[in-house]
Structure 1
Amino acid sequence: MNTNLEIIGYVYSEIKDRENAPKQGCEGGVEAIVEIKEEFSESMDGLSVGSEILLFTWLHEADRSCQKVHPRGDESRPKRGVFSTRSPDRPNPIGLHPVTITEVDGCKIKVRPMEAIDGTPLVDIKIDQR
């Protein structure tokens, strides 16, 4: 069984650090560029402006040893297990970002609203059929 993740691209965003990132894209996410590596360019066929997609990222600055957090960072709330939260700190820090494509230019996809920080690795894209 191969459990290795392949980084397919990166997110480029005006958000430079975790402290300035909104908790969710709908809470102040920005327009960002997702750049797909050239070797995965054929996988982009069918993506177009207006498409609603799910971006799966590797939250590279996460604390992978973390198992409990105060929900939404609110220390007045009791700690809960990370699996019952959207915390980026977790054993396998995979981010899920529902976004809309606003532009496609070669291997670059402009999306919004995005809350990932600049340089976040991208591991997958799926069409959002919710």
Structure 2
Amino acid sequence: MSEPVNYQLDPIGVIQSSLRTREDAPRQGFEGAPDAWLELKEGFVPALRGVRVGDELIVITWFHPRSGTCWKCIRGATGAIR
């Protein structure tokens, strides 16, 4: 087996929304989540040149805080695993 590859992720901004506590957040967007937006650090704004409304972007998010000790699937109200 090959050695694991390490990757470094550097934040380019933060995700903002009207949610203030974890308890306020629905488990899935279709359960009534409010809009959210990405606030970029100033140095990354020029990277958006040419991006237009309707363009698709891939954003990798890392949610925090988390203990790192619990990875599990939970069934939501619809029965879907979340």
- Given the two structures, how large is their TM-score scaled by the length of structure 1? 0.46
Q: Which residue of the partner structure matches residue 60 of structure 1?
A: 64
Q: Which residue of the partner structure matches residue 44 of structure 2?
A: 40
The change in CA–CA distance for 1:45 and 1:34 in structure 2 (over 3 A counts) is same
Give the strand-richer structure, 1 or 2: 1
Q: How far off is 1:60 after superposition?
A: 0.9
- In structure 1, what is the Cα distance between the partners aligned to 2:13 and 2:38? 7
Compare relative contact order (CA 8 Å, sep 6+) and give the higher one, 1 or 2.
1
Percent of aligned pairs with the same residue? 39
Q: Tell me whether 1:71 sits opposite 2:71 in the alignment.
A: no
Q: Which residue of the partner structure matches residue 49 of structure 1?
A: 53
Write out the 4+ residue segments of structure 1 that deviate beyond 4 Å after TM superposition: none
Unaligned runs of 5+ in 2: none
Q: Which has the larger radius of gyration?
A: 2
Q: How many residues align?
A: 76
Alignment RMSD: 2.7
Unaligned runs of 5+ in 1: 75-84, 87-130
